[in-house]
């Protein structure tokens, strides 16, 4: 029995379906789907040489099944077929064709009814959970999966529809072998469409890059030797025959079949230098997402993993979307061009080298062209980042559909996204900015060593008095650790100079008022801003800002879910609470309650952020100044397009700031700082670096080290010992 009696009440209906499918299986003639399912089971228990494997695959590719003239080289095959055709493994594989057909009907009938994006994505996520029954799970895992589906109210509703559709297929005595030719024809047309779309996406003609050959043929049968754990799951490609074989269950689930074909179209365009690179499939999955139609792309975002556990831990789609927003729509064309050029002298490339190429592309300036409607919406968002679509519609005078379209445009065109400013002081975390002058020849090695410390949140390469900037986030009770850590780096002769600053407060502002929609560019009047700053400082018009009662920093009680909420909202502060709840295993209502608490407690402050909005140059400036001057400078920087800052103490007392400026205007900013802050002696000292912000390493707090008791696990001795060990290894090389 496919579905055993471990839970008689739960699986009795499915066992009945299995019995009925078994009857259909026995009645149906021995055609390719049925025959290859039996062969798959037979060869799992037989050791055969490569020659026989190839012979069997060629015969299956020709669509041949067993008779006296074919498969003569397999001894006792007729007897083996009779022996295996009633086995549970064969019937389960065959049944999954019915499963795929039943799930496909659910998608085709329901998807167009979902007008609300959040509700549609919830439906697609649930359908993806149901889709797992198609994958080559063990019987035990399959039963556990079904149990889990029925335990959830929403997925159980889908499961009931699924069983109803199964019942219809069984009643009609549906035969996969009679429909497979139609599906193969559809797949052949679909792969041609996706190849054309890949040409448009990549900027390359098929065959000019990658391993595509004209005359590609789609086929469908159970490959007896298919690697079920392959990163490129669901298909087998036989390059000598130029045949792409879709494994039978998936060909009958239309939307999933299209996802797999789109990924394979991307595979045919993948530069050969990437073939052995780890995570190469992530680029293919992303390309598939880009060339699929809207609803199909949304489903692929959830379903693309198959049994790949590692890709579920890596948000590859958004990873590439962010790079596209940073680099531009020609991102893939530029990337493929670089990879093709490098393949002239390199046969392979690893992921770190691949990442370096992307980083290099990201450093190129990018001009953003916003029209008046987009700029107006952006201005409203900068004032109220979490404003609802209806509120934005009322303020802008635009229709709700227009606002929704503009929000998507801003995200894709300028990588505008609602994020959070987080006051880590309220989370029992002390933050430190550390500038290091590392011996240049070992800079990358030292970066990798420091990154092993889990409480290091960011590392940037900088150019100036030092060459590295680190951002440490250390539990309050362990803040003295930073001095011991830096002391070891100094003693081991890795660094020549350090500057240490403790973060007392956090600042951030985005201000689009200097963007001119008429010229489609930023138009910052630096001379006017500098004179205004001088007047502002001389007249002390900012005194009201410091007369306000200082807020007492109050620690609040948080849990690990709060930390995960913050982590996800930093990526998208408009994330639907229902989806957040699904990710974190709690209700959407609970998420809403916790978010309101975090906002009211001023742990988080919604903000608008952008990886790329025409502000392609940045400096990191540290000013030693008094409290009053700090407040004035902060107010002045709030008038600029975008900046992030910190109130600091330590080697300097005052303000640390990362200021983003339009391409080519760094000199104007530096002149204004020199003229109106340094020469006028508003600040005591100033340290300025150029910063490689796109190529930095960034991560959130290590939430796995936060206990139920509200304490951070901090293994001081372990961290220091590991630092010493890694440095000793480096010194021996």
Q: Kindly state whether residues 628 and 685 are assigned to the same domain.
A: yes
Percent of the chain with pLDDT strictly greater than 90: 46
Q: Is residue 712 part of a domain?
A: no
pLDDT value at 206 more than 60: yes
Residue 694 is predicted with a pLDDT of 66
Residue 319 is predicted with a pLDDT of 81
**E runs forming strands in 310-415:** none
pLDDT value at 2 more than 60: no
pLDDT value at 473 more than 90: yes
Q: Is residue 623 part of a domain?
A: yes
Q: Is residue 481 part of a domain?
A: yes
Q: Kindly state whether residues 53 and 195 are assigned to the same domain.
A: no
Residue 427 is predicted with a pLDDT of 86
Give, in degrees to the nearest 5, the angle at Cα 653 between 648 and 657: 50
Nearest to 251 by CA among 191, 183, 308: 183
650 conformational bin, left if phi > 0, alpha if psi -120 to 50, beta if neither: left
Q: Kindly state whether residues 523 and 537 are assigned to the same domain.
A: yes
Q: Is residue 606 part of a domain?
A: no
Burial category of 184 from C-beta neighbours within 10 Å (exposed 0-12, middle 13-18, buried 19 and up): middle
Question: What CATH number has the domain bearing residue 585?
Answer: 1.10.10
Q: Kindly state whether residues 209 and 167 are assigned to the same domain.
A: no
Bridge pairing between strands 243-246 and 217-219? parallel
Percent of the chain with pLDDT strictly greater than 70: 95
Residues 6+ apart with CB under 8 A from 157: none
Count: domains in the chain = 5
**Helices 254-269 & 88-110, crossing angle to 10 degrees?**
100
Question: What CATH number has the domain bearing residue 519?
Answer: 3.30.70.3460
Last residue of some domain: 138, 155, 175? 175
Q: Kindly state whether residues 306 and 432 are assigned to the same domain.
A: no
Q: Kindly state whether residues 106 and 89 are assigned to the same domain.
A: yes
Give, in degrees to the nearest 5, the angle at Cα 325 between 320 and 330: 85
Q: Kindly state whether residues 486 and 634 are assigned to the same domain.
A: yes
Q: Read off the pLDDT band of 3 (50, 70, 90).
A: very low
Q: Which residue has the tokens 């690697």?
A: 227
Q: Kindly state whether residues 269 and 397 are assigned to the same domain.
A: no
Q: Kindly state whether residues 466 and 480 are assigned to the same domain.
A: yes
Question: What CATH number has the domain bearing residue 325?
Answer: 1.10.390.10
Tokens describing residue 456? 């290091």
Instruction: For residue range 389-413, list pLDDT tens digits in order.
Output: 899 999 888 899 999 898 888 887 7
Instruction: For residue range 11-57, list pLDDT tens digits in order.
Output: 556 667 778 888 888 888 889 999 999 989 888 878 878 888 888 89
Specify the 3-state DSSP secondary structure of 135: coil
Q: Read off the pLDDT band of 549 (50, 70, 90).
A: very low
Q: Kindly state whether residues 403 and 317 are assigned to the same domain.
A: no
Q: Is residue 713 part of a domain?
A: no
Range 335-344 burial, b when 16+ CB lie within 10 A, else e = bbbbbbeebe
Residue 437 is predicted with a pLDDT of 96
**Dihedral sign for Cα atoms in the order 196, 202, 204, 206:** negative
Residue 68 is predicted with a pLDDT of 64
Q: Which residues pair with 474 in a beta bridge?
A: 430
Q: Is residue 701 part of a domain?
A: yes
Nearest to 505 by CA among 676, 660, 608, 627: 627
- Averaged pLDDT, 437-457: 92
Nearest to 569 by CA among 604, 544, 539: 604
Q: Kindly state whether residues 76 and 162 are assigned to the same domain.
A: yes
- H or E element, residue 386: none
- Averaged pLDDT, 210-220: 93
| 628/612 Cα distance (integer angstroms) | 32
Residue 302 is predicted with a pLDDT of 92
Q: Is residue 187 part of a domain?
A: yes
- Residue 26 domain boundaries: 8-116+125-175
Q: Is residue 732 part of a domain?
A: no
Q: Read off the pLDDT band of 98 (50, 70, 90).
A: very high
Nearest to 392 by CA among 404, 690, 106, 549: 404
Q: Kindly state whether residues 620 and 507 are assigned to the same domain.
A: yes
Instruction: For residue range 125-178, list pLDDT tens digits in order.
Output: 899 999 999 998 877 787 788 888 888 888 888 989 999 999 999 999 999 999
User: Where does 397-522 have alpha helices with state H?
Assistant: 400-414, 443-451, 481-491
**Mean pLDDT estimate for the chain:** 87
Residues 6+ apart with CB under 8 A from 54: none
């Amino acid at each position: 029995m496919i579905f055993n009696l471990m839970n008689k009440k739960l699986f009795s209906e499915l066992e009945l379906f299995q019995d009925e499918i078994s009857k259909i299986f026995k009645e149906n003639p021995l055609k390719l789907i049925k025959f290859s399912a039996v062969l798959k089971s037979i060869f799992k228990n037989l050791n055969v040489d490569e020659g026989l494997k190839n012979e069997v695959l060629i015969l299956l590719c020709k669509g041949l099944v067993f008779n006296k003239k074919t498969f003569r080289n397999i001894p006792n095959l007729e007897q083996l077929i009779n022996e295996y055709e009633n086995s549970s493994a064969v019937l389960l594989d065959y049944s999954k064709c019915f499963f795929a057909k039943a799930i496909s009907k659910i998608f085709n009938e329901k998807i167009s009814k979902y007008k609300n994006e959040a509700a549609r994505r919830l439906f697609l996520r649930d359908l993806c959970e149901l889709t797992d029954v198609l994958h080559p799970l063990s019987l035990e895992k399959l039963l556990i999966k079904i149990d889990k589906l029925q335990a959830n109210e929403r997925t159980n509703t889908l499961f009931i529809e699924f069983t109803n559709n199964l019942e219809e297929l069984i009643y009609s005595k549906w035969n996969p072998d009679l429909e497979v030719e139609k599906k193969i024809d559809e797949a052949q047309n679909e792969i041609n469409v996706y190849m054309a779309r890949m040409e448009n996406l990549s900027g390359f003609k098929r065959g000019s890059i990658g391993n595509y050959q004209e005359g590609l043929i789609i086929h469908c049968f159970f490959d007896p030797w298919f690697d079920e754990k392959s990163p490129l799951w669901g298909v087998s490609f036989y390059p000598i025959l130029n045949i792409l074989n879709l494994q039978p269950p998936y060909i009958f689930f239309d939307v999933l079949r299209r996802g797999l074909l789109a990924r394979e179209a991307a595979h045919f365009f993948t530069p050969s230098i990437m073939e052995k690179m780890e995570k190469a499939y992530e680029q293919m999955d992303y390309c598939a997402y880009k060339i699929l139609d809207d609803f199909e792309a949304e489903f692929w975002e959830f379903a693309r993993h198959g049994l790949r556990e590692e890709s579920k831990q890596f948000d590859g789609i958004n990873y590439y979307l962010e790079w596209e927003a940073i680099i531009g729509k020609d991102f893939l064309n530029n990337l493929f061009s670089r990879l093709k050029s490098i393949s002239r002298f390199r046969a392979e490339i690893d992921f770190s080298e691949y990442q370096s190429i992307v980083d290099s592309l990201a450093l190129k300036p990018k001009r953003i062209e916003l029209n008046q409607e987009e700029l107006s919406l952006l201005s409203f968002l900068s004032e109220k980042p979490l404003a609802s679509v209806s509120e934005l519609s009322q303020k802008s005078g635009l229709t709700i559909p227009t606002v929704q379209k503009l929000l998507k445009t801003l995200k894709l065109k300028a990588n505008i996204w609602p994020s959070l400013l987080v006051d880590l002081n309220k989370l029992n975390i002390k933050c430190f900015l550390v500038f290091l002058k590392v011996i240049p020849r070992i800079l990358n090695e030292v970066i990798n060593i420091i990154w092993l410390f889990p409480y290091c949140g960011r590392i940037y390469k900088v150019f100036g008095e030092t060459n590295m900037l680190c951002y440490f986030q250390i539990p309050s009770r362990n803040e003295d650790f930073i001095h011991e850590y830096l002391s070891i780096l100094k003693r081991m002769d890795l660094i020549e100079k350090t500057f240490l600053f403790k973060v007392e407060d956090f600042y951030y502002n985005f201000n689009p008022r200097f963007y001119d929609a008429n010229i489609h560019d930023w138009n910052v009047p630096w001379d006017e801003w500098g004179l205004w700053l001088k007047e502002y400082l001389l007249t002390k018009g900012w005194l009201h800002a410091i007369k306000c009662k200082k807020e007492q920093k109050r620690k609040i009680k948080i849990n690990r879910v709060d930390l995960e909420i913050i982590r996800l909202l930093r990526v998208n502060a408009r994330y639907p609470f229902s989806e957040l709840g699904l990710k974190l295993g709690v209700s959407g209502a609970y998420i809403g309650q916790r978010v309101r608490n975090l906002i009211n407690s001023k742990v988080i402050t919604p903000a608008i952020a952008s990886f790329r909005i025409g502000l392609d140059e940045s400096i990191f400036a540290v000013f030693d100044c008094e409290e009053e001057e700090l407040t004035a400078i902060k107010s002045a920087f709030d008038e600029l397009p975008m900046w992030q800052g910190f109130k600091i103490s330590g080697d300097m007392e005052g303000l640390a700031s990362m200021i983003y400026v339009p391409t080519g205007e760094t000199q104007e900013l530096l002149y204004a700082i020199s003229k109106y802050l340094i020469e006028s002696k508003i600040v005591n000292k100033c340290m300025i670096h150029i910063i490689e912000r796109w190529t930095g390493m960034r991560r959130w707090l290590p939430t796995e080290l936060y206990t139920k008791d509200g304490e951070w696990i901090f293994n001081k001795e372990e961290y220091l010992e590991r630092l010493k060990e890694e440095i000793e290894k480096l010194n021996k090389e």
